[in-house]
Structure 1
Amino acid sequence: MSGQPTAVVLRPLGLGDLLTGVPALRAVRAAVPGHRLVLATTEPLRPLAELIDAVDEVLPARELEPLDWPGPPPELAVDLHGKGPASHVIVAGLRPERLLTFASPGYPGPTWYPDEHEVRRWCRLVSEGLGVDADPDALDIAVPPLPPPVRDAAVVHPGAAFPGRRWPADRFADVARDLADAGHDVRITGGPGEVELARSVAAAAGLEESAVLAGRTTSTELAAVVAAARVVVCGDTGVAHLATAYRRPSVVLFGPVSPALWGPPLRPGEHGPLHRVLWHGDGTGDPWGTGLDPALERITVAEVVHALGTLGLRRDQVP
């Protein structure tokens, strides 16, 4: 790192958080083009963080824990984690020459607005704090440099981090069966802890065991599957943000959290907007809830099937 100024950006959260922060990372890069940009994020996200063209180096980090920073104080440190002060202390602890955070006691900066979309929030922080333009639609990341396990699949991702955001498995199975009956190559994805869920969805949909990719793909292989997918059906999860990053058509089911805060952008596609969002909530749900959110429960299989049809995925539109 000697001889080159460094910018450290803190965002050790989940996959969706990483991907919604990409436009802000690009804006930081634009503000300090001669700096080495180091992204402090969780070690499991390293392979995907390395697909972000603005990032030069990944520093392993844990949420709200001090960074193991090996070098001299960076010239710039940016808190893309939260509104503070718990996360502000972490970046301030690096003793940077310049510090960018949202305003909180002892930390000057732009004002935090709780009803602002996650992507636009961080873009505004960088834009106001560093005086550069930040494009909220600059969400793309590189496709992993490996062949995807499957191509042109209809990806059904039934898992979610918390039960409140997990649409019932039998409904995902009904959607998967409808896609398979229409002639699509349906694949059920998920992490290592979601294998049984994925298997149950596949079995209920009448799919072969080979349709289950859950637990059989690395994070980069999953990204490659999404990048090559025909369509993605999922809840409010990191996979939804992968579909956005790779500009693949998607149907995303929201429950406790409003899509106005975390939803995909209305990018144009062949049949209208590239992403379809279903939501019957009022923004008062609990995203960390231990039971199915009532708003998510109100989404029906018929609605999801109809949304897929509006993306050009009706039975008579399968190649």
Structure 2
Amino acid sequence: MVEHAHGENLLSLLPRPPHKVALLRASRLGDFLCTSPALRALRHALPEAELVMITLPALQDAVVRSPYLDGFIAFPGYPGIAQQFFDPRRALDFFRRMQRERFDLAIQLQGSGVYANPFTLMLGAASTAGFARPGDDTSLLDACLPWPDHGHEIRRLLGLVGFLGALPRGEEMTYPLFPSDRANAQALLAGLPQPIIGLHPGSHDPRRRWPLERFVEVARTLHRRYGGSIVLLGGATVSEEAAVLEARIPGCRNLVGRTALGPFGAALTRLALFITNDSGPAHVAYALRAPTITLYRAGGRERYGPLAEGPFAPLEPADAGADALVSVDQALQAADTLLADATGKERIPCGETSEALRYAR
């Protein structure tokens, strides 16, 4: 049973430096981007190793863009992890193929390990490491760190790889853009009056979705104050929400479903302001330092807020309670502060500056 960590500095205890390393992070875009500081640390600690990421098929492009990874393997689905992809026969074939790879090391970056540790052990690596919950049996893991029940996601993952012997190399996330991404984004936004304000109304978790009527009110108010353009951004999964906003925000441009990951990120760099739920696109914006308002539920900032200072306003509800929401006034106050910086116009007074806006300084 794990009550204490074991296998500290595993990288230096192995009989030889690992040549092939499998990493598991079968989660969504935001969680994947939170691994980039840990991946950077591993790349510096293992400069000659082949680092291969096992993740969701939709994130193949994100893996290809990473300067720290050498390969992508599509996650096949597994009970308790991305179950929508799971097929028993396909999973058995997957594990046979992975065991033939003869990985020297497999690291579980998924989370608490309840489902992810059995999956990672089935890869058949010579050594296996990961998190585990206190009280769980970890006798088959060569290195284990108890899963922390609080703290920022980036720092949790850095804690694990640091425990294994990969020293941190900064906490900033990485989201490389190619020239073609910037050209595609320029074409999509060509001719739109400035300033351009982007909205992302979706999240895979319904509890993290700000009410659409509040997006509408904020967008209409900002358009009256600043003119310019309102654009809707995101993947096809938010097309239903985007259709509602398009019908209720006069003159907005609906680009949902029209951008792959690269052009989407490049489009964010051309915005005067991006307003989003607590979701993957917020992490893309943090990585690219795009002026961003993120609408969190109470406590969400602790795990997923921006760690670096920048043009960011990570907002949480001013009122207490699990069901409390960020108010329209909070969002407008933050927008006025960030747009004043982006446009050079004098800030429109909207009350006291919130604690969250310290990031925007």
Distance between the aligned counterparts of 2:320 and 2:165, measured in 1? 32
Match of residue 332 from structure 2:
305
1:281, distance to aligned residue in structure 2 (A) = 7.6
Q: Which residue of 2 aligns with 1:288?
A: none
Determine if contact 1:258/1:281 at 8 Å carries over to the other structure: no
1:82 corresponds in structure 2 to: 111
* In 2: Cα distance, 1:130 partner to 1:263 partner: 26
* Structure 2, gaps ≥5 residues long: 1-17, 80-90, 347-361
Is residue 40 of structure 2 the alignment partner of residue 26 of structure 1? yes
Does the 8 Å contact 1:123/1:135 carry over to 2? no
Map 1:76-225 → 2, pairs under 5 A? 76-103=105-132, 104-106=136-138, 107=141, 108-137=143-172, 139-144=173-178, 145-146=180-181, 147=183, 148=185, 149-150=188-189, 153-181=196-224, 182-208=226-252, 211-225=253-267
Alpha-carbon distance change, 215 to 21 in structure 1, aligned in 2, over 3 angstroms: same
User: Aligned to 2:324, which of 273, 277, 295?
Assistant: 295
1:150 partner amino acid: L
| TM-aligned CA deviation for residue 6 of structure 1 | 1.1
In structure 1, distance between residues paired with 2:267 and 2:161: 32
**Residues 258 and 283 in structure 1, CA contact (< 8 A), matched pair in contact too:** no
Counterpart residue type for residue 314 of structure 2: V
Change in CA separation of 1:206 and 1:282 when aligned onto 2, cut-off 3 Å? closer
In structure 2, how many angstroms separate the alpha carbons of the residues matched to 1:263 and 1:159? Answer: 17
- Give the Cα separation in 2 of the matches to 1:116 and 1:314: 31
Equivalenced residue count is 298
Larger Rg: 2
Specify the SS of the correspondent of 1:9: strand
Give SS of 1:39's match. strand
The reply to whether residue 227 of structure 1 matches residue 269 of structure 2 is: yes
1:42 aligns with 2:56: yes
Greater alpha carbon shift after TM alignment, 254-263 vs 45-54: 254-263
Deviations 1:61-97 (A, max 9, x none): 1453655545421112111101214211222222222
* Preserved CA contact (<8 Å) 2:42 2:166: no
**Residues of 2 paired with 1:82 and 1:220: CA distance?**
27
* Structure 1: stretches of 5+ with no match in the other structure: 269-273, 286-293
For 1:261, the aligned partner's letter is R
Q: Which moved more, 1:240-249 or 1:189-198?
A: 189-198
- Does the 8 Å contact 2:272/2:342 carry over to 1? no
Find the aligned partners of 1:99 and 1:5 in 2 and give their Cα distance.
14
RMSD (CA atoms): 2.5
Paired with 1:159 and 1:315, the residues of 2 have a C-alpha distance of 25
Aligned to 1:290: none
How far apart, CA to CA, are the structure 1 residues paired with 2:269 and 2:256? 16
How high is the TM-score relative to the length of structure 1?
A: 0.85
Are the structure 2 counterparts of residues 256 and 315 from structure 1 closer, same or farther at C-alpha, using a change threshold of 3 Å? closer
TM-score under structure 2 normalisation?
0.75
Measured after TM superposition, the shift of residue 279 of structure 1 is: 0.8
User: Take 1:30 and 1:197, find their aligned partners in 2: how far apart are those partners?
Assistant: 42
Residue type of the partner of 1:140?
T
Larger helix fraction of residues: 2
The residue aligned with 2:65 is: 51
Q: CA deviation at 1:160?
A: 1.4
For residues 203 and 133 of structure 1, the distance between their equivalents in structure 2, rounded to whole angstroms, comes to 47
Q: CA deviation at 1:37?
A: 0.9
Inter-CA distance 133–219: structure 2 relative to 1 (3 Å threshold): closer
Moved more, 14-23 or 179-188: 179-188
How far off is 1:201 after superposition? 1.3
Identity over the aligned pairs, expressed in percent? 26
Provide the C-alpha distance between the structure 1 equivalents of 2:342 and 2:291, rounded to a whole number of angstroms. Answer: 17
Cα deviation for residue 212 of structure 1 reads 0.5
**Following the alignment from structure 2 to structure 1, what is the Cα–Cα distance between the partners of residues 202 and 40?**
30
CA contact (8 A) 1:38 1:57 kept: yes
Question: Does the 8 A contact of 2:38 with 2:168 survive in 1?
Answer: no
